[in-house]
A and B are shown apart, each in its own frame.
Chain A
Amino acid sequence: MKKAFVPLLLLTAAMFAYAPVIIAHADYESTMGLVQKVMYFHAPSGMVMLISAVVCGVASAMYLWRKNPSADRVAIAAAELTALFGLIVLVTGPLWARKAWGVWWVWEARLTMSFVGWLIAVGYLFVRKYGGPGSDKLGAALAVFGTANVPFIYVSVNIWRTMHPMTTVVPTLQAGMRGAFWFSALTLFMLYGLLLTARIHLERQRAALDELYLAEEN
Chain B
Amino acid sequence: MIRRLLLSVSMLIVAAVPVWALQPPAAQSEYVPVKDLPPVDQLPAAPLLVAAYSFIWLAAMFYLWTIWRRLGRVETEMRALEQRRQRSGSK
Contact = CB atoms under 8 A, between A and B. Distances in A.
B74 A41 contact: no
Contact of B49 (A38, A208, A212): A38
Given A195-B63, A201-B71, A202-B70, A98 B43 contact: yes
Interface in B32-63: 38-40, 43, 45-46, 48-49, 51-53, 55-57, 59-60, 63
Contact of B53 (A41, A87, A98, A191): A41
Interface residues of B, number: 29
A198 interface: yes
Contacts, number: 81
A208 to B, nearest CB: 7
Contacts of B82: 212
Contacts of B48: 35, 38, 95-96, 98-99
* Interface secondary structure of A, over-half rule: helix
B81 A216 contact: yes
Interface in A76-133: 84, 87-88, 91-92, 95-96, 98-99, 102
Interface in B59-86: 59-60, 63-64, 67, 70-71, 74-75, 77-78, 81-82, 84-85
A35 B49 CA distance: 6
A194 to B, nearest CB: 8
A58 B71 CA distance: 25
Contact of B75 (A37, A38, A205): A205
Interface of A: 16, 20, 33-35, 37-38, 41-42, 45, 84, 87-88, 91-92, 95-96, 98-99, 102, 191, 195, 198-199, 201-202, 205-206, 208-209, 212-213, 215-216
